[in-house]
Structure 1
């Protein structure tokens, strides 16, 4: 006979009843984090744009703000969030923990106009020529780097502000900047900010970047792209000269390479497209990328045992691109052409890589002294323990333009530093709160070597740009808990959010300007938009 006895199971109730996350948006915006909160003890503040979108004429209605919040486990909240609520006056609510502990909060919201400033420039005459200098915004300083001793008494100042804002100095005014000036921007709702116009001698750092800023962000809809389903087609970025090219896939010969001004995001024209409806098996193109000098490569999507072609363009306006590689995808398994990466200069030494989907392999071509060594690629299989395959869109980026160089691998399960001679893992890069990753790019700037990674946080809706200083390869093994980690992971951008899960086909591209003193980095997040961020060699001090 089998007997049993019952034992009382004690459930520990939560003792903490707090808000763990809170943000706001408006009707029709789904789960987007439009308005972030500021905290002060038990008070939660929202500065709501007076108009939304900020450059529109649609005034925000504080009686219809949707607050979305997360609370600690086992807790309850006294008000149902997630539906329109009136925030024209302070709103109080309580979070009660599972054990009955109450925490009281107050939400205070106000409408403020946009008082930001963009595209600030000064121009002046120097030795009979008109010189133009871009401004850099650092907190409340509008800083211009000028060689000492220059007469700035007849300096033209131009800038852009929100159409609902006003300025104490009109854009286009000629000023005497030999003496300090203050520019005040005012907006609806009592918003106001003073910007000190500062002329300072440029102090260049001996190594790496200093002053940096967001150049622009252009939303998905502003590009005229479709939703997530249709928007999956936009999945590559390249920089050549002053131009940013966004590649749009086309399974039936309708692929496009769209050219934009990379400093403003303005559409200019389409590039010549060699993969057309009459190309048969070559009609589908997913990738167009640039080498480190701005030469462009375009590849078709090639199923196993199908043709594989790579065209080279000398610029976005090249109407007769060279068919550089014409071969067959007949090694190993898997589709290729969904991701394409190049390290180096196509006119010098370079390594070209195209990964093979749902395998642990990639194709590799080598260029020496501007000459492609073989039409036939080398099939490389990577010895990384994680994952049965690298998924659909892995990326491989060689650190130096030689096949013996170590390289980087990013795919949905991790970010790795790999030995170029043995193709075995050296390091798995330590990161926190990363759900998925794959977009990779490399840059050499002011004696430093950087890699950029597109990271998806918690889900495929939220993507950010992370920058790592890989000049010293030993830094790849730095743990996140180390005091040295900020010297390795040197920058993380704001997080872009799409309304739905993206397909994970984001991309990154890098460009340079001002004789190499500035570096611009672009990140494409499908369904959200394109973020442009600039890094300079100038010290913030």
Structure 2
């Protein structure tokens, strides 16, 4: 046993002696001393990039222009003796003085980067505090008739450009500015200005630094296709509009007005100024019954309906404007011709394409079914009271037989077998009007159409075909909604994923989240389009039950 142990010891010692005789490998030092990144921050902000560098022309001097206060509109003064500079250098390189710790940068200092091979590259770091002379936002308000309009400027360098449609009078506009709270403006925010000529405006920072801008009214370029400049017209909460809990499911446009339905029994139609959201009056109704839907056609006629459960009376009226005498358009008994085993009610949703003065197609879905009822108007005359019964054959999602209570079927032409968009809980799709099967559908992604989606409207504007969708996001309480606008002119884009680089040419606009005060238990809401009298501007309205109304405008013009 002793001999065996001795053998192992001798072997191990021999191995060590052999290894000790091997020549050490040479370490290759990195010759790079580049400064690939540098920025400044303050204590408590971790790796946040608060202050960006400015390099001299020959890149041997690094300037940091730091605000007097951080956050910039606070009263928290930036202390140049307590700044953290962070950098990124090659492996094996050394930085002197050491960075990443609190240091005094109130005076210029030399920064050396020494490569692993000993080569040194030097920079001079110069830091100073500067006043903020930027303009965060500039707007002008002006009167158009009885309404106040607002335009937000596009700031390009020293120019503050207000893109104004031809014929707009800005001789007595109100200027509203957002600048740093420690800076001053030569024209006070809230002042009346004459933008019929260019105006100089000087911003002075807390350090006396000045920058002069030029306020200009500029005429935009008219687009050959689609929409360009857009703006928020207004938004009002349910409380401001006098909504009652769960009772406002739809809205429509006629002339200068919006009309909303209050789904009580009997129903109420309320009229608002569509340019301001101001309540005007209630419309007298020719029926005393439950109603949920009102739409407008291409000529601004209002189309309102009663709600008809199975064997109930479905009546459709037309108003040429909010003061007109209603004319009965359709009267049909919902005798459930398709044999719907579920709810089968008609009138929760209504969609139209065209004008009842000439040619139009009207569609309404049967509750808890895959059935769509269709009426046609040709040369201003209803073809027949009894609807055509359509069965959508490509139902998907949680049920293979019905689309819920709030499905929309939106026709896209006045043809007898028009294609149409279907929109219900599980999909949005373009449907072939002959086969009634899906032609192409939206990508099944929450980034595309939210968690849920119901209300739909369709219009052709400046040679482009647009679909407006109300998207419910974040929660199944249905009280967080986004207005989405989609360019569906090229049907091949309809199925684009949100990750596709072309997606923004399809989903061209999304509003901010519009919040309801309480749970929208019925999942109701609506969207509709309106046009300016000259048809140069397109308005989109979104109603969120228990939330209010949002109004947005698009034009045919671009900066």
Q: TM-score, normalised by structure 2?
A: 0.66
Taking only aligned residues, the RMSD between alpha carbons, in angstroms, comes to 3.5
Give the unaligned 5+ runs of structure 1.
Answer: 1-38, 46-86, 91-114, 124-129, 185-192, 277-282
2:334 to 309, 329, 354: 329
What is the match of residue 173 of structure 2?
157
What is the match of residue 443 of structure 1?
459
What is the match of residue 350 of structure 2?
340
What is the match of residue 5 of structure 2?
none
Q: Establish whether residue 349 from structure 1 lines up as the match of residue 370 from structure 2.
A: no
What is the match of residue 480 of structure 1?
498
- The 1:156/1:472 distance shift into structure 2, 3 A limit, reads same
Alignment of 1:305-316 (within 5 A): 305-316=311-322
| Residues 231-275 of structure 1, C-alpha deviations (whole Å, 9 max, x = no match) | x11011101111111111112x1x111111111111111112122
Alignment of 1:52-451 (within 5 A): 120-121=141-142, 136-140=151-155, 141=160, 143-145=162-164, 155-158=171-174, 168=187, 173=192, 175=194, 177-182=196-201, 197-226=215-244, 230=245, 232-251=246-265, 253=266, 255-276=267-288, 283-318=289-324, 320-330=325-335, 331-332=337-338, 333=340, 334-386=344-396, 387=399, 388-433=401-446, 434-451=450-467
- The 1:514/1:157 distance shift into structure 2, 3 A limit, reads farther
Residues 407 and 417 in structure 1, CA contact (< 8 A), matched pair in contact too: yes
What is the match of residue 524 of structure 2?
505
Residues 256 and 270 in structure 1, CA contact (< 8 A), matched pair in contact too: yes
1:219, CA displacement in angstroms?
0.8
Alignment of 1:9-48 (within 5 A): none
Report how many residues are paired: 406
Distance in 2 (alpha carbons) for counterparts of 1:307 and 1:286: 14
1:299, CA displacement in angstroms?
0.4
1:194, CA displacement in angstroms?
11
1:520, CA displacement in angstroms?
0.8
Residues 235 and 287 in structure 1, CA contact (< 8 A), matched pair in contact too: yes
Structure 1 residue matching 2:557: 3-state secondary structure: coil
Structure 2 residue matching 1:264: 3-state secondary structure: coil
Structure 2 residue matching 1:494: 3-state secondary structure: coil
Residues 465 and 492 in structure 1, CA contact (< 8 A), matched pair in contact too: yes
1:489, CA displacement in angstroms?
1.3
Distance in 1 (alpha carbons) for counterparts of 2:233 and 2:165: 21
Distance in 2 (alpha carbons) for counterparts of 1:369 and 1:427: 31
1:159, CA displacement in angstroms?
6.6
Q: Establish whether residue 469 from structure 1 lines up as the match of residue 487 from structure 2.
A: yes
Distance in 1 (alpha carbons) for counterparts of 2:236 and 2:139: 14
Greater displacement, 300-309 / 475-484: 475-484
Structure 2 residue matching 1:221: 3-state secondary structure: helix
1:486, CA displacement in angstroms?
1.6
1:169, CA displacement in angstroms?
5.4
What is the match of residue 69 of structure 1?
none
1:136, CA displacement in angstroms?
2.5
1:378, CA displacement in angstroms?
0.9
- The 1:363/1:159 distance shift into structure 2, 3 A limit, reads farther
1:305, CA displacement in angstroms?
1.1
Structure 2 residue matching 1:402: 3-state secondary structure: coil
1:182, CA displacement in angstroms?
3.9
Residues 297 and 352 in structure 2, CA contact (< 8 A), matched pair in contact too: yes
Greater displacement, 200-209 / 468-477: 468-477
What is the match of residue 530 of structure 1?
549
In terms of Rg, which structure is larger?
2
- The 1:402/1:180 distance shift into structure 2, 3 A limit, reads same
- The 1:514/1:180 distance shift into structure 2, 3 A limit, reads farther
| Residues 466-521 of structure 1, C-alpha deviations (whole Å, 9 max, x = no match) | 11111122222333332222211111111112244312111001111161111110
Distance in 2 (alpha carbons) for counterparts of 1:471 and 1:88: 52
Distance in 2 (alpha carbons) for counterparts of 1:350 and 1:516: 20
Q: TM-score, normalised by structure 1?
A: 0.68
- The 1:383/1:223 distance shift into structure 2, 3 A limit, reads same
Residues 183 and 197 in structure 1, CA contact (< 8 A), matched pair in contact too: no
Structure 1 residue matching 2:350: 3-state secondary structure: strand
1:340, CA displacement in angstroms?
0.9
| Residues 406-456 of structure 1, C-alpha deviations (whole Å, 9 max, x = no match) | 110111111111100111111121153221111000121111110011111
Residues 394 and 437 in structure 2, CA contact (< 8 A), matched pair in contact too: yes
Structure 1 residue matching 2:390: 3-state secondary structure: strand
1:458, CA displacement in angstroms?
3.0
Residues 134 and 144 in structure 1, CA contact (< 8 A), matched pair in contact too: no
Structure 2 residue matching 1:337: 3-state secondary structure: coil
